[in-house]
């Protein structure tokens, strides 16, 4: 598997590089970084004390010409540039970027008619199993329970709520026959009035080096149920990304998510 990594000098990019290098079936063929990165020109494995022969570069065309797959955990504007290059070079995409707007999501889905794409707000097996638990729970707590989603991430995360929190909200809303765009409440301040029971609330915490915590609270009268997932390391995301690469190997085109990869749909 000839794999290139976008955002290669970042925390997630480095974890992806390490995971690819440790997989005997994978070959690192490219490492993309920002044009202003001081790491440009350095070996992609330098942070591990390894020589890979792959230098960090901002030359998108060169990287895509060498790769069969790109794993991208960057930002929406960067991912959309990578999408255009992937279409030109017929490269399959594994996307962990979050914060896309509806128009960008539509572009990604449309591109799935020409290349294979797996996009997910979270690639860990645990989170995706948790989504199935939430779907089950939401159907059984449809009446008489208020639903709140609380997420916490490190101080460097730039979007809120997290992609994982939004995925959880979408799963719950679908199970309840609601439209998340219409029923979501993002934070509260001032005199808000009584809680509308049809809403799904979101709260975001940012601080320190928290990798990613997500809790869904079903609060009823006399009891509450909490379903929580906590990430201790980015390794779970990187391993999920490689699992997605293997899944895409059998699909020339299509738009998929981790529920497809894990056979949970």
CB 115 within 8 A of CB 86: yes
What is the distance between the alpha carbons of residues 26 and 20, in angstroms, rounded to a whole number? 6
Over residues 22-38, the mean pLDDT reads 94
Using CA atoms, how far residue 88 sits from 32, 81, 84, 132, 138, in Å, is 17, 11, 6, 36, 42
Per-residue pLDDT averaged across 212-235, rounded?
96
3 state SS of 160: coil
- Mean pLDDT over the full length of the chain: 96
**What would the pLDDT profile of 137-168 be if each residue is shown by its tens digit?**
999 999 999 999 999 999 999 999 998 999 99
Answer whether CATH 3.40.50.720 is correct for domain 2-119+234-261.
Answer: yes
Tell me: domain 125-231, CATH 1.10.10.10, correct? Answer: no
pLDDT score recorded for residue 98: 87
| Residue 264 confidence (pLDDT) above 90 | no
pLDDT tens, position by position, 161-212: 998 999 999 999 999 999 999 999 998 999 999 999 999 999 999 999 999 9
Statement: residue 18 has pLDDT above 90: yes
Counting every residue written for the chain, the total comes to 265
Which structure tokens are listed for 200? 């799904």
Domain layout of the chain by residue ranges: 2-119+234-261, 125-231
Residue positions annotated with a catalytic role: 153, 157
Give me the pLDDT at residue 108, please: 98
Q: Which residues contact 96 (CB under 8 A, 6 or more apart)?
A: 12, 71, 72, 73, 119, 120, 121, 122, 123, 237, 241
Give the separation between CA 32 and CA 9, rounded to whole angstroms: 8
Could you tell me which residues come within 8 angstroms of residue 223 by beta carbon, excluding any fewer than 6 positions away? none
pLDDT value at residue 99 = 87
Beta partners for 28?
3
Which pLDDT score, from 0 to 100, does residue 28 have?
Answer: 98
The pLDDT, as a whole number, for residue 152 is 98
Do 240 and 123 touch, CB atoms closer than 8 A?
yes
């Amino acid at each position: 598997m000839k794999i290139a990594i976008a955002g290669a000098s970042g925390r997630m990019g480095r974890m992806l590089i390490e995971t690819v290098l440790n997989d005997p079936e994978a070959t690192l063929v490219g490492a993309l970084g920002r044009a202003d990165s001081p790491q440009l020109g350095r070996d992609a494995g330098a942070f591990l004390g390894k020589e890979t022969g792959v230098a960090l570069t901002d030359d998108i065309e060169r990287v895509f010409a060498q790769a069969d797959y790109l794993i991208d955990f960057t930002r929406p504007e960067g991912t959309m540039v990578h999408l255009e290059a992937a279409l030109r070079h017929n490269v399959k995409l594994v996307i962990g970027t979050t914060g896309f707007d509806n128009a960008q999501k539509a572009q990604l889905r449309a591109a799935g008619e020409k290349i294979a794409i797996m996009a997910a707000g979270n690639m860990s097996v645990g989170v995706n199993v948790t989504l199935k638990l939430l779907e089950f729970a939401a159907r059984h707590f449809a009446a008489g329970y208020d639903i709140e989603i609380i997420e916490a991430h490190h101080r460097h995360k730039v979007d809120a709520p997290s992609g994982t929190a939004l995925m959880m909200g979408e799963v719950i809303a679908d199970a309840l026959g609601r439209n998340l765009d219409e029923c979501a409440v993002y934070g509260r301040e001032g005199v808000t009035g009584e809680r509308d029971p049809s809403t799904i609330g979101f709260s975001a915490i940012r601080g320190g080096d928290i990798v990613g915590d997500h809790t869904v609270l079903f609060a009823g009268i006399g009891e509450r149920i909490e379903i929580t997932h906590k990430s201790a390391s980015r390794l779970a995301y990187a391993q999920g990304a490689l699992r997605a690469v293997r899944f895409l190997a059998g699909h020339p085109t299509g738009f998929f998510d981790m529920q497809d990869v894990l056979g949970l749909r």
